[in-house]
Structure formats: structure tokens, C-alpha cells
């Protein structure tokens, strides 16, 4: 981030901020709010088989946003929040956490599937229409081959029963004193672990192979990503800048992919830097590129950290 910011003329950035059209800025702000609302609706729909009818939308919103908060502050590709969501849902509906985790992973699958399509399109567009260095071309081609390979692997394995030999790992886990105190024998512990894994896998398959859930999940995921792209597009309009919506889609998609591969919590710094570099490669002036990149992420972090953190605090107090 320091490397990116060192050559920025912050006088130009300040002048841009003074001229911002607040109408479009608030549209950008509301787009992310609506994105999280739709995300929660998809989350609620995927979990409908495990939750009670009539449970208020606000509770699901609080659970979902608490997961977003944990995902943002933990390293890796947004994986820390899923167990947190499963925990709060298990406490609320008195069911096994692994069942909820299976549905939550199915819900995440819908998001990844749609994002992969946008990523595939973005990489192809860059390779075909954008002049880039030989090294970057090799990197993008590697990404493209990886996406195709994963897609083929998922299709190949989707209709097959896969068996994993986890006995060795389970034996190592059983060595911990706390585990041995809770389970009198290794066989009981092994049975407990594999029963939970079967529950998770069964609920996950039910989620992604249910036609209604799949249709709603994919449709809402598409709208969620469009709203995310629109937020940055509205920010360009707020500065009276003419940047194509297609360019915004490509930049945000590639930047999120870079952030997901990073061990940095939430990809903070790396996502913003990638946005700036990709916008610059598309011909956007440096001061405008960094301003829109930072503002778009500030809006996202407001919801992810402030709203998400308050949601986590609310749930902890409520379920004490």
C-alpha cells in the first residue's frame, strides 16, 4: 500500500474530494447496504430447511454480518466467519453446528460459482484486449487454466462418492488431553467426528442440488456482485468521470481474486493497491483511481467492521 501511495499527488485527491457529487456517493453507499440485504436473503433461503419459519430477518442479518466481521479480521479467503455463523444458528435453533455449517458452505458455493464466471470473463478480456507485460500474461493464463481445471474437477466429482482417509488425523487430534477427557475411547471420538462430517456433507449436497435453492442462490449471487460493481461505478459518477461499467467489473473482480489469495486479513491494503494498479492500466488518472479505490473499500469496511462488529456484540449479549 505504501508502494502504491508514494507517488500519489494528494493535493489532487483533496481537490477531487471537494468536488464530489454527494448524490452519487450516497447511491454507492446504499448499493453496498442493499448488497448485504440480498446476501442475507440468500443466506436465509439456503438455511430454510434447518430454521424455524417466521424467524425474523434481523436475526439472520446479525448472524450474517457477524460472519462478515470475522472474515474481514482473519487471514485467508473469507473462511473465519462460517464457524461463527454456525455457532450462533446452533444456539438459536438447537441443532448440530455441522448441519448449519454444511448449509453455510453451500451458500458460499453459490457466491464462488458466480464470482468464478466473472473472473473467467475478466481474465479472458484482459488477455485478449489489454496490452500487458509477458509476466502478467503468464500469470493470467495460469489463473485461467486453474479455474478451468477446478471447474472440470467439480463437475467430475459432483456425482461420485468420495472417501477420505482421516483416521490418521483423527488419531493425532485425540492425543489432546481435553479431547481424551470428553471421549472415553478413541472409537467413540472417531464415530463422533465421522458422524459430524457425514451430516455436513449431506446438508451441503441438499443445498446445492435443490433446484429452488440453487436457482435463488445463483440469481441473488449475480445481483449481489452487480451491486458491488455498481457501488464503484457510482463513485466514478460522483467525480463526474467517464469510466465504463465493464472496466469496473474487470478491475474489482481481479482485485478481489488477488485479495482472496492473500494471507492478509480481509486482503486489506492489497485489494486497494490492486484496484489502483488495474484502474491505472485501464487509463484512469492516478489521483482518481486511488480515490475511488479507497472510498469503495471504506464504504465496504464500514459495513463489514462497524456494522459487523456491532452485530457480533449484539449476538453475544443476546445469547449469554
Q: Is residue 297 domain-resident?
A: yes
- Residue 158 has what pLDDT? 56
Q: Is residue 302 domain-resident?
A: yes
- C-alpha cell of 46? 439456503
Cα separation, 106 vs 209, in Å, equals: 10
* Contact in structure between 86 and 64 (CB atoms under 8 Å): no
Q: Is residue 165 domain-resident?
A: no
Q: Is residue 231 domain-resident?
A: yes
Q: Is residue 73 domain-resident?
A: yes
- Residue 7 has what pLDDT? 67
Q: Is residue 172 domain-resident?
A: no
Among 1, 113, 114, 92, smallest CA distance to 47 is for 92
Give, as one character, the DSSP assignment of residue 9: -
Reduced to 3 states (helix: H, G, I; strand: E, B; else coil), residue 81 is: helix
- C-alpha cell of 286? 492516478
- Residue 1 has what pLDDT? 63
Query: What residues make up the domain containing 51?
Result: 2-157+208-318
Spans of the chain, pLDDT less than 50 = 162-163
Count the domains in the chain. 1
- Residue 253 has what pLDDT? 93
Q: Is residue 179 domain-resident?
A: no
- Residue 10 has what pLDDT? 73
- C-alpha cell of 275? 484496484
Q: Is residue 263 domain-resident?
A: yes
How far from 188 is each of 143, 176, 178, 179, 249, CA to CA, in Å?
43, 15, 15, 11, 51
Give, as one character, the DSSP assignment of residue 7: T
User: pTM for the full model?
Assistant: 0.83
- For the stretch 105-129, pLDDT in tens is 889 889 988 998 999 899 888 888 8
* Contact in structure between 65 and 311 (CB atoms under 8 Å): yes
With a CB cutoff of 8 Å and minimum separation 6, the contacts of 320 are: none
Amino acid at each position: 500500500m505504501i508502494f502504491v501511495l508514494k507517488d500519489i499527488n494528494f493535493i489532487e485527491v483533496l481537490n477531487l474530494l471537494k468536488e464530489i457529487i454527494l448524490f452519487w456517493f450516497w447511491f454507492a453507499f446504499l448499493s453496498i447496504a442493499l448488497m448485504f440485504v440480498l446476501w442475507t436473503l440468500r443466506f436465509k433461503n439456503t438455511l430454510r430447511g434447518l430454521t424455524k419459519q417466521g424467524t425474523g430477518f434481523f436475526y439472520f442479518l446479525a448472524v450474517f454480518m457477524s460472519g462478515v466481521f470475522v472474515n474481514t479480521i482473519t487471514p485467508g479467503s473469507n473462511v473465519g466467519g462460517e464457524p461463527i455463523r454456525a455457532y450462533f444458528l446452533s444456539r438459536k435453533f438447537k441443532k448440530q453446528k455441522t448441519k448449519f455449517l454444511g448449509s453455510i458452505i453451500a451458500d458460499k458455493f453459490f457466491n464462488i460459482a458466480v464470482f468464478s464466471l466473472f473472473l473467467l470473463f475478466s481474465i479472458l478480456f484482459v488477455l485478449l484486449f489489454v496490452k500487458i507485460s509477458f509476466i502478467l500474461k503468464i500469470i493470467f493464463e495460469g489463473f485461467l487454466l486453474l479455474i478451468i481445471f477446478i471447474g472440470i474437477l467439480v463437475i467430475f466429482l459432483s456425482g461420485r462418492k468420495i472417501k477420505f482417509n482421516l483416521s490418521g488425523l483423527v488419531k493425532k487430534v485425540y492425543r489432546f488431553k481435553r479431547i481424551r477427557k470428553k471421549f472415553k475411547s478413541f472409537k467413540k471420538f472417531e464415530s463422533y467426528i465421522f458422524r459430524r462430517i457425514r451430516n455436513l456433507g449431506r446438508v451441503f449436497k441438499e443445498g446445492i442440488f435443490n433446484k429452488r435453492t440453487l436457482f435463488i442462490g445463483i440469481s441473488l449471487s449475480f445481483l449481489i456482485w452487480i451491486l458491488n460493481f455498481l457501488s464503484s461505478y457510482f463513485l466514478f459518477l460522483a467525480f463526474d468521470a467517464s469510466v465504463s461499467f465493464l472496466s469496473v467489473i474487470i478491475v474489482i473482480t481481479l482485485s478481489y481474486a488477488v485479495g482472496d489469495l492473500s494471507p492478509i486479513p480481509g486482503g486489506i491494503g492489497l485489494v486497494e493497491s490492486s484496484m489502483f494498479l488495474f484502474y491505472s492500466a485501464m487509463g484512469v488518472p492516478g489521483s482518481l483511481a486511488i480515490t475511488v479505490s479507497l472510498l469503495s473499500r471504506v464504504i465496504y469496511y464500514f459495513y463489514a467492521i462497524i456494522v459487523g462488529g456491532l452485530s457480533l456484540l449484539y449476538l453475544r449479549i443476546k445469547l449469554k
